[in-house]
Amino acid sequence: MTAKRRNILAFAVVSVLILILFVADILFGSVSLSAADIWAAITGRADSAGDPTAYDTVRSIVTKFRLPKAAVALVAGAALSASGLQMQTLFRNPLAGPFVLGISSGASLGVALFLLGLPLLGTGAGGEIVRNLGMVGSAWVGSALIFLIIMAVSVRIKDIMVILILGMMIGSAATAFIEILQYFSPEGALKSFVVWSMASVGGVTAGQLGILLPVCGVGLLLSVLLIKPLNMLLLGENYARTMGLNVGITRGVIFLSTTLLAGTVTAFCGPVGFIGIAVPHVARMIFAEADHRVLMPATILLGAAVMLFCDIISQMPGHDIVLPVNTITAMLGIPVVVLVIVRNRKIF
Amino acid sequence: MDAERIYTVELRNVTLGYGERVLFSGANLGFGWGEFTALVGRNGTGKSTLLRTIAGLAKPLHGEIVVDGEPVGGMTARELASRISFVSTDEVRITNLKVADVVALGRAPYTNWIGSLTAEDRQKVVESLSLVGMSAFAHKAMDTLSDGERQRVMIARALAQDTPIILLDEPTAFLDLPNRYDICLLLRELAHKQKKTIVFSTHDLNVALELCDTMAVIENGRFHYGPTVKLIEDGDIQRLFEGTAVLFDAETKTVKMK
């Protein structure tokens, strides 16, 4: 009972934290805005001199950049973390995650083929909608393909280290192929790809947001529907099956969910590493639970909080430089992963 | 075998194997109510494969397995899960996973989409834990238990699943001698008092001979099945050890060095 009460408190704290970080993410940036300015801009109030257009710049910064950016950070963090938790339970591997298993690399390769490969063939992407759909579609195909390979191997080989090494090899192969593509690419295409690969939650346009939010919403809904099957899979596939789980369908839904979550985020934010692998462990440490009824919402909320935090840091408040967000996620995530390896406690 | 016995698990002309290798072929036998049956045989004779096949985890090469008069092949995972529970050799020592949660997972075939427990489900979990003597461990995590305690939890999970048939793959493999007897005595009591059909594979012939009503012996791709006493009389147990360093003494019902 006390553990239950503690968890409720932890959920409340994390929720409040998300709210604070969300507001902070809107306030801080290369131009620091005061809460009063933003409030005035949103409510459309005139300034003391009676000029109704005084806050137009602020309004434009907030609605066109800061708000979408904060929303993307929130959703991307939740999405990557939920997909990481699903992979860790499915593969019974504490070190699984979309980045480590090469799923993000698959998505990157898909985007690279679309952004670099098509111009090489002389058929550049058309309008913005075509470009967005092409990017997300090629990211889905890329991540789905890698996930299928990893699943096919994991059915035959039960050694978790083999799966991890395979994931890293696939990731390296994808990176190598991308580098070859870059070498042959014209400057324009190359620039847009390099900007993409620096990973940022701020570069997402309104049109992309219109794809990202609903698709990740579906992926997160599937994650919640997977709570019971994931709990059953904790005991291993043999137990899950003899307790009445249709393991084939479950694998299919996990596949769909992780492809939508990791693929879409990678398509629009670039390859963001270490969120998917590290956040589920942070959730385990804080909540001391293995039950996905606690772990799944905890992971989703913590993922959102962590990604907002990383985005705030990457903006370097008070400076006009912006660091790629994946450098921050790596610096925060790697210590967690190292801690998990060093502790070497059996999680599965 | 008496014709009056109700067979809850029946093998009809079953051939098991994998790839090119046939483990045994054309096996016909049935396990009945309230029976505590040991499945014995040398390594690689197909004990595990047989249990896995009955539990629906593998398919027979030929023939069919019938549970409660219905072929296993035609059942959904959920239908099968309300008839057969299975305790495998897979180790479950997950950090933070609570004993009560593991046992509650046994209710999975009956719970809703997110696995909420009804009052009846909770009652079953409490009963199952108490039957295996693990009530005091309900809130402990799986990774803090000993091998024997973990095995009891997995048996409690099978009990919570509330199936007429329980299959166990080498449930005593990693246990010390007192624990082996304890677990087998517990299983025998469950078979007799709760009228469950309990079949377990084992290499522990001494324990099996002492405690089991019936035995199924796989020897050179052939099945010998019957009351333990009859198998001893017929010399089926002795034949298991032909050409090895040990022998079976029918007088004392024990296995020893030659």
What does the DSSP assignment read for A228-267? HHHHHHTT-HHHHHHTT--HHHHHHHHHHHHHHHHHHHHH
Runs of H (alpha helix) within B56-211: 77-81, 99-105, 119-131, 147-160, 177-193, 205-211
CA distances to A106, B214, B218, B239 from B205, in Å: 53, 13, 13, 13
* Predicted confidence (pLDDT) at residue A284 exceeds the cutoff of 90: yes
Taking contacts as CB-CB distances below 8 angstroms, the residues of chain A near B94 are 234, 290, 346-348
User: In this structure, are residues A82 and A303 in contact, taking their beta carbons and an 8 Å threshold?
Assistant: yes
Mutation to test the A interface, candidates B72, B86, B94, most A Cβ within 10 Å: B94
Query: CB distance A246–B56 less than 8 Å?
Result: no
Q: Average pLDDT for residues A64-80, to the nearest whole number?
A: 94
User: In this structure, are residues B105 and B158 in contact, taking their beta carbons and an 8 Å threshold?
Assistant: no
List the domain boundaries for chain B.
Answer: 1-83+164-258, 91-162
Query: CB distance B77–A345 less than 8 Å?
Result: no
Instruction: Name the CA radius of gyration of chain B, rounded.
Output: 18
Closest-CA residue to B228 (of B203, B206, B247): B206
The helices-and-strands tally (H runs, E runs) of chain B is 9, 12
The whole-model pTM stands at 0.93
Token pair for residue A299? Answer: 């992971």
Amino acid at B173: A
- Asked if A67 has any chain B CB less than 8 Å from its own CB, the reply is no
- Helices A103-112 and A247-269: angle between axes, nearest 10 degrees: 50
Query: CB distance B81–A243 less than 8 Å?
Result: yes
Query: CB distance A346–B85 less than 8 Å?
Result: no
H/E run at residue A328:
helix A325-343
Taking contacts as CB-CB distances below 8 angstroms, the residues of chain A near B93 are 346
The per-residue pLDDT for B1 is 44
Query: CB distance A238–B57 less than 8 Å?
Result: yes
Q: Average pLDDT for residues A96-105, to the nearest whole number?
A: 92
- Helices A2-27 and A275-287: angle between axes, nearest 10 degrees: 140
Q: Alpha-carbon distance B2 to B226, whole Å?
A: 10
Q: Is the dihedral of CA B183, B188, B194, B196 positive or negative?
A: positive
User: In this structure, are residues A120 and A181 in contact, taking their beta carbons and an 8 Å threshold?
Assistant: yes
Query: CB distance A241–B93 less than 8 Å?
Result: no
pLDDT digits (tens, 9 = 90+) for A175-189: 999 999 999 888 888
| Least confident piece of the model among A28-42, A126-140, B5-19 | A28-42
The partner residue sitting opposite A345, judged by closest CB among B56, B95, B102, is B95
CA distances to A109, A199, A211 from A311, in Å: 24, 11, 21
Closest-CA residue to B187 (of B166, B163, B215, B164): B166
Q: Which residue has the tokens 């998990």?
A: A340
Backbone dihedral angles phi then psi of residue B88, each to the nearest 5 degrees = -95, 180
Across chain A, mean pLDDT equals 89
Mutation to test the B interface, candidates A4, A235, A251, most B Cβ within 10 Å: A235
Mutation to test the A interface, candidates B83, B97, B167, most A Cβ within 10 Å: B97
The per-residue pLDDT for A127 is 78
Higher pLDDT, A54 or A180: A180
Q: Alpha-carbon distance A202 to A31, whole Å?
A: 14
Sheet holding B165-169, edge to edge: B84-87, B165-169, B197-201, B36-41, B214-219, B222-227
| Least confident piece of the model among A332-336, B10-14, B253-257 | B253-257
Residue A280 lies in a domain: yes
Band of pLDDT at residue A141, cut at 50, 70 and 90: very high
The per-residue pLDDT for A186 is 86
Note the residue count of chain B: 258
Across chain B, mean pLDDT equals 91
Half-sphere exposure of residue B158, counting CA atoms within 13 Å on the CB side?
30
Pairing relation of β-strands B36-41 and B214-219?
Answer: parallel
Q: Alpha-carbon distance A250 to A238, whole Å?
A: 14
Taking contacts as CB-CB distances below 8 angstroms, the residues of chain B near A245 are 77, 108
Query: CB distance A244–B109 less than 8 Å?
Result: yes
Q: How far is B243 from chain A (nearest CA, A)?
A: 36
The per-residue pLDDT for A50 is 66
The per-residue pLDDT for B3 is 46
- Asked if A251 has any chain B CB less than 8 Å from its own CB, the reply is no
- Asked if A4 has any chain B CB less than 8 Å from its own CB, the reply is no
- Asked if A286 has any chain B CB less than 8 Å from its own CB, the reply is no
Q: Alpha-carbon distance B134 to B128, whole Å?
A: 9
Taking contacts as CB-CB distances below 8 angstroms, the residues of chain A near B82 are 244
Q: Rounded to the nearest 5 degrees, what angle is found at the Cα of A292, between the Cα atoms of A288 and A294?
A: 55
Higher pLDDT, A80 or A58: A80
Backbone dihedral angles phi then psi of residue A35, each to the nearest 5 degrees = -60, -35
Q: Average pLDDT for residues A121-136, to the nearest whole number?
A: 79
- Asked if A239 has any chain B CB less than 8 Å from its own CB, the reply is yes
- Asked if A243 has any chain B CB less than 8 Å from its own CB, the reply is yes
pLDDT digits (tens, 9 = 90+) for A79-99: 999 999 999 999 988 889 999
What does the DSSP assignment read for A297-323? HHHHHHHHHHHHHHHHHHT-TTSS---
Q: Residues with Cβ < 8 Å from A146, sequence gap 6 or more?
A: A101, A102, A103, A105, A106, A167, A170, A174
Backbone dihedral angles phi then psi of residue A208, each to the nearest 5 degrees = -70, -40
Q: Which long-range contacts (CB under 8 A, 24 or more apart) does A8-12 make?
A: A10/A286, A10/A287, A10/A298, A11/A297, A11/A298, A11/A301
Query: CB distance A245–B85 less than 8 Å?
Result: no
Q: How far is A190 from chain B (nearest CA, A)?
A: 46
Query: CB distance B105–A289 less than 8 Å?
Result: no
Closest-CA residue to A86 (of A225, A248, A254, A217): A254
Query: CB distance A244–B114 less than 8 Å?
Result: no
pLDDT digits (tens, 9 = 90+) for B123-173: 999 999 999 999 999 999 999 999 999 999 999 999 999 999 999 999 998
What does the DSSP assignment read for B15-55? EEEETTEEEEEEEEEEEETT-EEEEEESTTSSHHHHHHHHT
The contact set of B with A (CB < 8 A) is 52, 55-57, 76-78, 80-82, 84-86, 88, 90, 92-98, 101-102, 105-106, 108-109, 111, 113-115, 139, 141, 143, 161
Range of the domain at A231: 2-343
Closest-CA residue to B27 (of B54, B57, B62): B62
Query: CB distance B52–A238 less than 8 Å?
Result: yes
Closest-CA residue to A312 (of A325, A302, A294): A325
* Predicted confidence (pLDDT) at residue A343 exceeds the cutoff of 60: yes
Token pair for residue A32? Answer: 């620091």
User: In this structure, are residues A264 and A215 in contact, taking their beta carbons and an 8 Å threshold?
Assistant: yes
Residue A40 lies in a domain: yes
Q: Average pLDDT for residues A219-244, to the nearest whole number?
A: 97
* Predicted confidence (pLDDT) at residue A348 exceeds the cutoff of 80: no
The ipTM estimated for the assembled molecules is 0.93
Q: Alpha-carbon distance B253 to A290, whole Å?
A: 46
Residue A348 lies in a domain: no
* Predicted confidence (pLDDT) at residue A347 exceeds the cutoff of 80: no
DSSP state for residue A65 in the 8-state scheme: I
| Least confident piece of the model among A42-46, B2-6, B15-19 | B2-6
Query: CB distance B78–A289 less than 8 Å?
Result: no
Residue A174 lies in a domain: yes
CATH class of this structure's domain B1-83+164-258: alpha beta
Mutation to test the B interface, candidates A93, A239, A281, most B Cβ within 10 Å: A239
| Least confident piece of the model among A111-125, B5-19, B180-194 | A111-125
Q: What is the CATH number of the domain that holds A22?
A: 1.10.3470.10
Amino acid at A279: V
* Predicted confidence (pLDDT) at residue A346 exceeds the cutoff of 60: no
Q: How far is A168 from chain B (nearest CA, A)?
A: 25
* Predicted confidence (pLDDT) at residue A243 exceeds the cutoff of 60: yes
A-B CB pairs within 8 A amount to 95
* Predicted confidence (pLDDT) at residue A344 exceeds the cutoff of 80: no
For residue B18, the cross-strand partners are B21
Backbone dihedral angles phi then psi of residue A191, each to the nearest 5 degrees = -65, -45
- Asked if A346 has any chain B CB less than 8 Å from its own CB, the reply is yes
